[in-house]
Structure 1
Amino acid sequence: MPAAASRPGGDSRGVIAALPMYDRPETRAATNRFWGLIRDRLDARGIPAPVHLTRACNPWAVWQAPDLVLAQTCGLPYRARLRDSVTLIGTADFGLPDCAPGDYNSVILGRTQTLPAMPVLALNEALSQSGWAALDRFCHDTGLTHGDIVMTGAHRASVRAVIEGRADLAACDAQTWWLMQRHDDWARVAVEIARTPPTPGLPFITRAGQDPAPWLAALAGACAALDPEDRATLNLRGIVERTPADYTALPIPRAPGKRPG
């Protein structure tokens, strides 16, 4: 994820909210309605919130914005860089297989169940819990020594790189993979090799120095009020409270391309 942080645009209320991590055309309308329910509950608690979500912006600029109302980050950026400059709220529960509420994991994908020697890895971002930290742990736990790394910029692009033969192995966020199986016919030829151990899901955050309780209540209330069809579209089951220790207890992985010492 790029570290440069030019300021994103807010709306006329001068504040920012963004929920891009699982945003795609098929889920956008449901995400917008979910945001409307969150916004109304934040407003009712005296927290000014933007009318619309910010989209197509540098994620670091959003996460570090001093006027951030709500965003979703990844667990690795949170514990590596953001934990002292944002307020952690909680995470979404997607009811993912073999995961406790609010946890997620990565799906290890290839073209076949049999991997070549020194497989080429497709990697979305160096600071990705599901795309790199989980994949690095999988390689370590299975004794797999990988070859080159292809940087793709996104989970979907990593899966495509595997399918097209530019890489042999990728790790995809299990919720992203759920959405891809539902909406991307081309991705269904990828072969699921394994699923990694669960870790806490993507954190909802706001600007530093806030009491997370009203945000957590707004998110939980919005989730409960969401239309069942929209909940099904988003695969959303609930909101789970989190503490910083849930994330900081996990190790920081080595940088991609750096061999174990």
Structure 2
Amino acid sequence: MHLVSIAMYVTSQPLAEATAELWSFLRHYLLEAGLKDLPEKLDQAVRYDEAWLRPDLLLSQACGYPFAKSLRGRVRLVATPIYHHPGCDGPLMRSFIIVAKDSALHSLEDLRGTTAAINGPDSNSGSNFFRAAVAPLAR
């Protein structure tokens, strides 16, 4: 049985449901193309980054940064998402710095001395973009 793990961005129930629907769609077309031994459901037990180099891997998902940094030449890129979120342009994504709706913090400078959370140090949109946004404010 092939490993299919497209869980890099599955952090909430709506995303988990959308990802399961995506796999159902992909599975249908892969079966039609003659592939066999495809799992009916996505693997939830293997961490997304542990799946990337497994010999039984058929399909996984990676952010562009880990792909460029450590996966290029070791796995084959088969698709790039096209984003329809405001501010995104095709395969170009966008990051957001979020504060509470009623917060008195309105600019990056206002955030000096507060605590930030990122989704992962190997994320371009979640870490590198954040670093690039705050670096000019460093003292």
TM-score (norm 1): 0.45
| 1:113 and 2:102 are equivalent in the alignment | no
CA spacing shift, 1:44–1:76, aligned 2, 3 Å? same
1:61 aligns with 2:89: no
1:18-29 aligned at under 5 Å gives the runs 18-23=5-10, 24-29=12-17
Please report how far the alpha carbon of residue 82 of structure 1 lies from its aligned counterpart in structure 2 after TM superposition: 0.7
SS of residue matched to 2:21: helix
For 1:19, the aligned partner's letter is I
User: C-alpha distance in 1, partners of 2:7/2:84?
Assistant: 20
- Supply the RMSD in Å over aligned alpha carbons: 2.1
Which residue of the other structure, out of 92, 115, 128, is the alignment partner of 1:133?
128
SS at structure 2 position matched to 1:26: helix
| AA at the equivalent of 1:113 | H
Q: CA deviation at 1:118?
A: 4.6
1:122 offset after TM fit, Å? Answer: 2.2
| C-alpha displacement of 1:117 | 3.7
CA contact (8 A) 1:118 1:145 kept: no
In 2, distance between residues paired with 1:102 and 1:45? 26
Q: Quote the offset at 1:119 in angstroms.
A: 4.5
Which residue of the partner structure matches residue 66 of structure 2?
A: 77
Q: Specify the alignment match of 1:122 in structure 2.
A: 117
Task: Tell me which amino acid in the other structure corresponds to 2:34.
Answer: G
- Offset at 1:96? 1.7
CA contact (8 A) 1:106 1:134 kept: yes
Indicate the structure whose relative CO is greater, using CA pairs within 8 Å and at least 6 residues apart: 1
What residue in structure 2 maps to residue 98 of structure 1?
87
TM-score normalised per structure 2? 0.80
Q: CA deviation at 1:135?
A: 0.6
- Counterpart position of 1:168: none
Deviation, 1:104, is: 0.9
User: Contact (CA 8 Å) 1:16, 1:69: kept in 2 or not?
Assistant: yes
Identical residues among aligned pairs (%): 27
Shift of the 128–27 alpha-carbon distance from structure 1 to 2, 3 Å rule, reads closer
The answer on whether the counterparts of 2:83 and 2:89 sit within 8 Å (CA) in structure 1 is no
Unaligned runs of 5+ in 1: 1-13, 147-261
Unaligned 5+ runs, structure 2: none
